Structure 1
Amino acid sequence: MEKLLENKTILIAGAGGLLGSLLVSKIIAQGGRVIAADINKKAMKERLESLDVDITDEYLTLTTLDITNEKSVSELFLSHIGIDGAVNSTYPRNKTYGAHFFDVSLESFNENISLHLGSAFLFTQQCAKYFKNSNTPFSLVNISSIYGVIAPKFEIYNNTPMTMPVEYAAIKSAIQHLIKYTVAYVNDSRFRINCVSPGGIFDNQPSAFLDAYKKNTHGAGMLDVEEIVGSILFLLSEQSRYVTGQNIIVDDGFSL
C-alpha cells in the first residue's frame, strides 16, 4: 500500500519544537523526505535524536532557518529544489510575551505581532514565490489555534499564573485570513494553503488549569501533540488535493 506522502519533499519550519520535531518522524514514516529547519540546528538535532529519529537518514536534511529574517527564508527556498509542501510550526516571540492584558506595552505588542505574524507572512509569501518559480503543486500548512476562532475562556486560568496572551489571539486569527488572501491572490488550484487549529496541547501545565480545561471538552482534556499530526499529514497529501483556504479545528469540542 502506497504511503500517504510517498515521493514528496516537505519543509518543516520549526522542526526543533514540540510539534515540528514529531512531524519529522511522522512524515518520514509516510514515505516523505523532510527538510528540517530551525534557528538552532544543534538543539533541533538533539530533540530529533531524543525522539529516536535517525539524523543520518537519507530522507532527512537538517538546515538552519531564522524565519524572522527575510534573507534566511529566501535563501532556504533558493537552495532546495523539488519541495512539494511545507509546515510552519514556528513560534517566535519576545521576552515579555505572555503578560496579562493591562501589562502589555504597545512596544511589546507590536514586536510580537512583527515576529510571529510578520514571519508567517514572510514564509507564506516565499512559499507562493517558490510555487510560481517551480510551477509544480505545493501545499502549505500553517498552525493557528482555537483562540484564533473563539474568544478566550478566561475562567480556566483562575488559580494559575497563566493567561491567554492578547498577541496570540490577534496573530492566530490573522493567520487564518492571511491564507485566504494568499490563495485567492495566487488563484491556482495547484497551490494550496490551509490551517490546523489545535485546542490546548499538553505541556506540563498546572493541574488547576488542566482540570478546568478538561471540563470544557468532551472528555479528552488537553491533547497530546500526536493528536494534531493526522490533520497536517492529510492536508499535505493528495487526499486533500482541492482543500484550500480552510481551517481544521482539532479540540475535542472545546470551541463548541
Structure 2
Amino acid sequence: MATPSSRYDLTERTALVTGAGGLLGKQHVAALSEAGARVVVTDVGLTQAEAAVAALKQNDAAADLIALAIDVTSLDSVRAANEQLAGRGITIDILVNNAAIDPKVTSTPGVMHSSRFEAFPVPQWQTEIAVGLTGAMLCAQVFGGDMAKHGRGVILNIASDLGVIAPDQRLYRQPEVTREEEQPVKPVTYSVIKHGLIGLTKYLATYWADHGVRVNAISPGGVFNNQDPAFVDRLTRLIPMGRMAEVHEYRSAVQFLCSDASSYMTGQNLIMDGGRSVW
C-alpha cells in the first residue's frame, strides 16, 4: 500500500498550467513543481511565460519548468503547442485550466458604468468568455483528448466562489457615487464563466470516466493582494473565518486534486472560501 505522502507524488508526470503568469497561476505551478512534476508554464505571450518561470526559479532553482506561449482562444495555437511539446517527447498528464480575465471594478463619474448589466459591452462579454470558458474547452479538447487516448490524465479547472454564489454587489459600492446607474458592479462575465467551468467539469468527468481521465474544479475565495482596505473590511465581514486567503493557501488543494491522493474523486468542485458560501 502506498504511504500517504507518496499519493501526492507527481514525479515523472508533466503538468501544463494556462495563464501561469498571473497571481494564482504562479502558485499552481509552484504547487505542482513542489510535488515533483515537470510543469509547462504557459501564457498568451512567451515573454509573460518566461517571466513567470524566472520568478518561480528565484524560489526553486531546481524546478523543472518549460515556458510556452499559448493563446487559449485559438484552437490552432493550442494544437500547435501540443505538437511542439510532442516533438520534444513531452506528453501532458495534468492540465490546469487557469487562464481568465478578472475585470477590475472601477468607477467613472457621470456615465452609466460599463460594468453594469444594462450597459455591458458585447465585445467584452465575447472576449472574456473566449479566454475563461472557451479556452478551457479548447485546452481540454486537445490535451484532455490525448489523455483519453492514453487512458490516464487529470484536468483541474480553476473556478471561483463566484461560480457557486452570485457576486455581492454591495462590496463594490462607492459612497461618493450618488446615482445608482453610475455605481460599479462585478461584471456578469466573471460569475457566468466560473459557473460554466463547473458545468464543464461535470460534463467532462462523465464523458471521459471510462478513459481514465479525472476532471475536478476548485473554487477559491478572495486572495489578499493589497486591495483597498475598505473593500477588504467589507469582504471579510462576509467570511466566517474573518479574513481573505493568503496567496499560498491553495497549493495543497491543487496537489491533492492533481495527484493520486484524489484517485476516487471526479466531477467535483472543491470550495475553499473561508466559509463564505455557507452563510
How many residue pairs align between the two structures? 255
- Are residues 50 and 131 of structure 1, via their aligned partners in 2, closer, same or farther at CA, if it must alter by over 3 Å? closer
Task: Tell me the equivalent position of 1:19.
Answer: 24
Partner-residue secondary structure (3-state), 1:79: helix
My pick for the range that moved more, 88-97 or 180-189, is: 88-97
Could you tell me how far apart the structure 2 residues matched to 1:128 and 1:122 are? 9
Q: Would you say the 8 A contact 1:48–1:55 is kept in 2?
A: no
Could you tell me how far apart the structure 2 residues matched to 1:242 and 1:167 are? 32
Question: Rg bigger for which structure?
Answer: 2
Task: Tell me the equivalent position of 1:105.
Answer: 121
* Unaligned runs of at least 5 residues, structure 1: none
Could you tell me how far apart the structure 1 residues matched to 2:238 and 2:103 are? 30
Written as runs of structure 1 = structure 2, the 5 A alignment for 1:8-87 is: 8-53=13-58, 57=62, 59-80=64-85, 81-87=90-96
Alignment equivalent of 1:90, drawn from 74, 99, 113: 99
Q: Would you say the 8 A contact 1:77–1:130 is kept in 2?
A: no
- Are residues 96 and 199 of structure 1, via their aligned partners in 2, closer, same or farther at CA, if it must alter by over 3 Å? closer
Residues 1:231 and 2:240 are matched in the alignment: no
**Structure 1 letter corresponding to 2:268:** Q
My pick for the range that moved more, 90-99 or 219-228, is: 90-99
What does the per-residue CA deviation read over 1:119-164, in whole Å, with 9 as the maximum and x for residues that have no partner? 121112223311133x141001011111111122222222377532
* Unaligned runs of at least 5 residues, structure 2: 107-113, 176-182
Q: Using structure 1 for the length normalisation, give the TM-score.
A: 0.89
**Identity value in percent:** 31
Alignment equivalent of 1:7, drawn from 3, 7, 12: 12
Q: Using structure 2 for the length normalisation, give the TM-score.
A: 0.82
Q: Would you say the 8 A contact 2:152–2:213 is kept in 1?
A: yes
Could you tell me how far apart the structure 1 residues matched to 2:126 and 2:27 are? 31
My pick for the range that moved more, 194-203 or 212-221, is: 212-221
Q: Would you say the 8 A contact 1:38–1:44 is kept in 2?
A: yes
Written as runs of structure 1 = structure 2, the 5 A alignment for 1:43-192 is: 43-53=48-58, 57=62, 59-80=64-85, 81-92=90-101, 99-133=115-149, 135-159=150-174, 163-188=185-210, 190-192=212-214
Task: Tell me the equivalent position of 1:240.
Answer: 262
Q: After the TM superposition, which segments of 4 or more aligned residues of structure 1 sit over 6 Å from their partners?
A: 93-98
What does the per-residue CA deviation read over 1:90-126, in whole Å, with 9 as the maximum and x for residues that have no partner? 1147999982323202343233223321112111222
Could you tell me how far apart the structure 2 residues matched to 1:215 and 1:128 are? 40
